[in-house]
Amino acid sequence: MERFMGNPERFSRLINKNKVRNDWRLTMRVMICSISLLSLANVFFPISSSAQDRFSEPDSLYKNKILFLPALGSTPETGFMFGAVVVPQFKLSGSGTDTRSSSLLFSGIYTTKKQILLGLLSDINFPGDRWVLNGNYFANYFPDSYWGIGPNTRNSDESTILFTEINLEQTVLKKVSPGLFTGPFVRWSKVYNLTFEDQEGNEIPAPDVQGADGHTSSGVGWMGRWDLRNSNMTPTENHYVQFSFLVNSSFLGSTAPHTSYLLDARKYVDLNQNGRSVLAFQGLYRTVSGNPPVLGMSELGGDRIGRGYHRGRYRDYNAAQFQSELRQAVKGRFGFTVFGALGEVWHRYEDFNLSTPKWSAGAGLRFNINKHDPTNIRIDYGIGRGTSGFYIQFGEAF
pLDDT tens column, 37-47: 444 444 344 43
Give the angle subtended at the CA of 287 by the CAs of 285 and 291, to the nearest 5°: 160
SS3 of 70, please?
A: strand
- Supply the pLDDT for residue 91: 93
pLDDT at 385 over 60: yes
Output 44 or 380, whichever has higher pLDDT: 380
Confidence of residue 57 (pLDDT cuts 50, 70, 90): low
- Supply the pLDDT for residue 98: 84
Task: Tell me what the mean pLDDT of segment 374-394 comes to.
Answer: 94
- Supply the pLDDT for residue 354: 82
DSSP code for 339: E
In this structure, is residue 53 part of a structural domain?
no
Alpha-carbon Rg of the chain, whole angstroms? 21
pLDDT at 63 over 50: yes
In this structure, is residue 274 part of a structural domain?
yes
Output 286 or 8, whichever has higher pLDDT: 286
Burial class (CB in 10 A: 0-12, 13-18, 19+), 73: buried
Count CA within 13 A, CB hemisphere, residue 116: 12
**What contacts 24+ positions apart, CB below 8 Å, involve 371-374?**
371/333, 372/62, 372/63, 372/65, 373/62, 373/65, 373/89, 373/101, 373/231, 373/233, 374/231, 374/233, 374/234, 374/275
Domain that holds residue 295: 2-46+58-394
In this structure, is residue 284 part of a structural domain?
yes
pLDDT at 265 over 90: yes
Q: Is residue 332 a contact partner of residue 312, using CB atoms and an 8 Å limit? A: no
User: What would the pLDDT profile of 134-168 be if each residue is shown by its tens digit?
Assistant: 999 999 999 999 999 999 999 999 999 999 999 99
Task: Tell me what the mean pLDDT of segment 327-338 comes to.
Answer: 96
In this structure, is residue 137 part of a structural domain?
yes
pLDDT at 116 over 60: yes
pLDDT at 368 over 70: yes
Output 75 or 28, whichever has higher pLDDT: 75
- Supply the pLDDT for residue 52: 39
In this structure, is residue 380 part of a structural domain?
yes
In this structure, is residue 52 part of a structural domain?
no
SS3 of 95, please?
A: coil
State the chain's mean pLDDT as an integer.
87
Q: What is the pTM of this model?
A: 0.81
Q: Kindly state the percentage of the chain with pLDDT values over 90.
A: 72
206 Cα distance to chain centroid: 27
In this structure, is residue 42 part of a structural domain?
yes
- Supply the pLDDT for residue 207: 93
In this structure, is residue 357 part of a structural domain?
yes
- Supply the pLDDT for residue 355: 83
Burial class (CB in 10 A: 0-12, 13-18, 19+), 111: buried
pLDDT at 17 over 60: no
User: What CATH number corresponds to the domain at position 200?
Assistant: 2.40.160.50
How far, in Å, CA of 367 to CA of 93, rounded?
Answer: 29
Give the Cβ contact number of residue 361 at 10 Å: 16
User: What would the pLDDT profile of 68-103 be if each residue is shown by its tens digit?
Assistant: 888 888 999 999 999 999 999 999 988 988 888 899
Confidence of residue 370 (pLDDT cuts 50, 70, 90): confident
How far, in Å, CA of 84 to CA of 109, rounded?
Answer: 7
User: What would the pLDDT profile of 177-219 be if each residue is shown by its tens digit?
Assistant: 998 999 999 999 999 999 999 989 899 999 999 999 999 999 9
Domain total of the chain: 1
How far, in Å, CA of 198 to CA of 176, rounded?
Answer: 51
SS3 of 188, please?
A: strand
